[in-house]
Structure 1
Amino acid sequence: MHSRSYIQEQKLSYQQSLANQLVTAVIILNAELAIVYANPAAEALLNKSLYRLYNTAAESIFAKTSINSTRLKQLIATGQEFTDSDIVIELNESHRFTAEVTASSVEFAQTPHVLLEFKQIDQQKQISLEVFQHQQWLAARDLIKGLAHEIKNPLAGLRGAAQLLSKEVSEEQQEYTSMIIEQADRLTNLVDRLLGPNQLPQIKAHNIHGILEKVCQLVSYSNGQKFHLLRDYDPSLPQVECDQEKLQQAVLNIVNNAIQAIDEIHDITIKTRIASNKTIHGKRVKLAVQISIIDNGPGIPSKIQDTLFYPMVSGRSNGTGLGLSIAQTLINQHQGKLSCHSRPGHTEFTILLPLKQQPLNQTPLSQENEL
């Protein structure tokens, strides 16, 4: 029969081994709220080894969050654990993440300590947000379709009546009927633009870089000296199943949106890559082509970022708010995803297109010829 001390040693050994194997990040603070232990998952999450974290004050990690020294000291005194979600931890400008943090009181060597468990939720939060935004966008599209039907029918009747009336009135009065017809046509055109493209895409295999080069030519001709256009292409990309004209229009709308948002010369970069294990509208996609349109302009106002792809939403006073909405419709027709992340000095639109074939190890001849 084993002694109590032997069993206790085995218990501590297993606990140490288990903590090191946990996917959940675990940090232990002493009574002075300094770090005395961090498991490998915590080291990876904080991008620092235990050697560098040891004896670091907890406040340096939780600065500007709801978890402060007062709450942690109260936890040690009362033993009442707590959990906070959506804690944004910013260690430096390039290392920022959102986590759910659970704090509980534990004892080591008969001394009270604080056990902190971190669960990074950026990806889950992003997926939930994208699914919600997609559902909202679909609802907005359905609403617009219903309104369009109710608007276009009376407009057609109004236009027809004005045409008949113009035959019965004098030439001076025909000026008024002409105005009615002109404004009815203008409103009909606006409704059609709100609805976006209705034709289904004509899917064929295309060299994605040939499509992007066409966009580069178009914007360079019309906006010569307003920006620096940079290319960062992955030459190993295979051909993509897409509608060439629709995809070109979607990218062109995004690039034009970036050009119109800048007041002085900035850089616009078009980048292509292979992306793996991406989630597109709640579905996991093994491989996708990723097209990124990046500019270093002023950024998109935060108040419209969640509704950026809705019709009639624009950050410019003279904007129609239709370009990005149409781009979203075109990408959705390809079973793809269009998203945006923006902050001052960096705005990135990302297009994900599901890929059916494997990427090639070298540039296909067709791609070399097109470029």
Structure 2
Amino acid sequence: MNVSPGFDLDSLTTCVVLIDEHGIVDTLNQAAQVLLETSSLRAVGLPFGELASAAGDAAIHWHETLTAVVSTRLPAVSRDLKLSLKTGRDVSVDVVITPLNYDRDSRILLEISALDRARAISETENLREAQSRLHNVVKGLAHEVKNPLGGIRGAAQLLARKFPNDELDEYSSIIISEVDRLQALVDRLLGPRESLDKRPMNVHEVTERVRQLIEAEAGKSITVTRDYDPSLPEFDADADQLTQAVLNIARNAWEASPIGCSLTIRTRSKRQYTLNGQRHKLVCALEIIDDGPGIPEDLMSSIFLPMVTSRPEGSGLGLSLSQMILTRHGGVIQASSQPGHTCFTLLLPMDN
């Protein structure tokens, strides 16, 4: 990337930092401020190493690469570089290092790409594509199953009317109730209604409704903790569908955890965040965290696909439907899990 004088770096979604030949920060755009968790006011004038530093052999390689670019005025690339931020967080990045060759401009341009974000975006896109393909297959099968179910229910009702008998009535009732259960399951397989009833809402209306429902169902077997960001603004969304999406995840956490477990519902905001390939100024991050046994490692890559569950009594539909609801809102769900700490993060654009 060549940057001409007067170019507005803040218009870029790429993280850009300009340093002088001594490594002192001259300029950083808004995307870089978000990635490096600092502000331009604090960063300008500091050595880049005070904002983000490598360690060990990586630090030596990074210093040698920068020195070579300064002396040769030729670009270079540093891949999969692990940087420790001033805030204490570590990030893995690729850095394209380009000397500015304008007259009397000896600055160095750093284009920084966060690998963690790129990998998460890629994995999310692959998951959405696989889920979409499988959902279309399941949708076709569900339609095929639904028609004969109606015939079975009608036949059971006719038998009950034609041969009035207490014992036969009992069997007919069982058939009808099981058909109704299967039809409800098929409806869930077909997914929530296509259209969204979007209205201005606060995400805490959803989280409070879910908290009340979980506490009513679980009683004293679970402790729900709220950690809300009260500054989150209202945004347009279908509150009923979002409630169902969050409830599915919270209920899964409760049902998979032992008595006395804890559930934390946390809300935060993220700025200049990319969802489904689109950059958003403001994104709502809703986290559902439990201290249960965790999700088996072999299931983590497929938990959002229909019919995947670690519980014998589970239908394997809850997470799939939650992901579909988030997708229709332009958002995604991400998950991480280890014994004692499982976190589902629902990311929703708030600038729609």
TM range, normalised to the smaller chain? 0.5 to 0.7
1:231 is aligned to 2:226: yes
DSSP-derived class of the 1:313 partner: coil
Alignment match of 1:145 (pick from 135, 139, 144): 139
8 A contact 2:280–2:351 mirrored in 1 = no
**Structure-1 separation of matches of 2:243 and 2:172:** 39
Q: 1:169 and 1:218 mapped to 2: Cα distance? A: 43
Equivalent of residue 207 in structure 1, options 196, 199, 202: 202
Distance in 2 of aligned mates of 1:214 and 1:174: 40
Partner SS state of residue 333, structure 2? strand
Helix, strand or coil at the partner of 1:197: coil
What displacement does 1:127 show? 1.1
User: Are 2:276 and 1:281 equivalent residues in the alignment?
Assistant: yes
Alignment of 1:193-204 (within 5 A): 193-198=188-193, 200-204=195-199
Aligned to 2:314: 319
Output the aligned Cα RMSD. Answer: 3.8
User: Could you tell me how far 1:20 is from its partner in structure 2?
Assistant: 8.6
Pair 169,331 (structure 1): closer, same or farther in 2 beyond 3 Å: same
Distance 2:281 2:83 in 1: 30
**1:158 has 2:152 as partner:** yes
Check 1:129–1:42 CA distance in 2 against 1; reply closer, same or farther (3 A cut): farther
What are the within-5 Å matches in structure 2 for residues 1-371 of structure 1?
Answer: 17=21, 47-48=53-54, 53=55, 56=56, 58=57, 121-169=115-163, 171=165, 173=168, 175-198=170-193, 200-356=195-351
Task: After superposition, give the CA deviation of every residue in 1:133-172 in whole Å (9 maximum; x if it has no partner).
Answer: 0111111211111001111112222322333344444635
Judged with a 3 Å threshold, the aligned counterparts in structure 2 of structure 1 residues 257 and 87 are, in CA distance, closer, same or farther, namely farther
Aligned length: 282
Task: Give deviations 1:160-188, integer Å, cap 9, x for gaps.
Answer: 23333444446355555444433332222
8 Å Cα contact 1:134-1:281 kept in structure 2: no
User: What TM-score do you get using the length of structure 2 for normalisation?
Assistant: 0.67
Alpha-carbon distance between aligned partners in 2 of 1:131 and 1:243, rounded to the nearest angstrom: 23
Task: Answer yes or no: is the 8 Å Cα contact 2:332–2:348 preserved in 1.
Answer: yes
Q: Residues 141, 86 of structure 1: CA spacing in aligned structure 2 closer, same or farther, 3 A cutoff? A: farther
CA distance 1:87–1:314, change in 2 (3 Å)? farther
- TM-score when normalising by structure 1: 0.64
Distance 1:222 1:180 in 2: 28
Would you say the 8 A contact 2:229–2:267 is kept in 1? yes
Report the CA distance between 1:313 and its aligned residue: 1.4
State whether residues 275 and 288 of structure 1, in contact with CA within 8 Å, keep that contact through their aligned partners in structure 2. Answer: yes
Residues 1:265 and 1:327: Cα distance change in structure 2 (over 3 Å): same
**How far does residue 132 in structure 1 lie from its aligned partner after superposition?**
0.3
Q: Which protein has the larger Cα radius of gyration, Structure 1 or Structure 2?
A: 1
Q: Which ranges in structure 2 are unaligned for 5 or more consecutive residues?
A: 1-19, 29-46, 61-78, 96-111
Which amino acid is 1:207 matched to?
Answer: N
Q: Secondary structure at the match of 1:248?
A: helix
Identity %: 40
State the AA in 2 paired with 1:133.
L
Q: CA deviation at 1:323?
A: 2.0
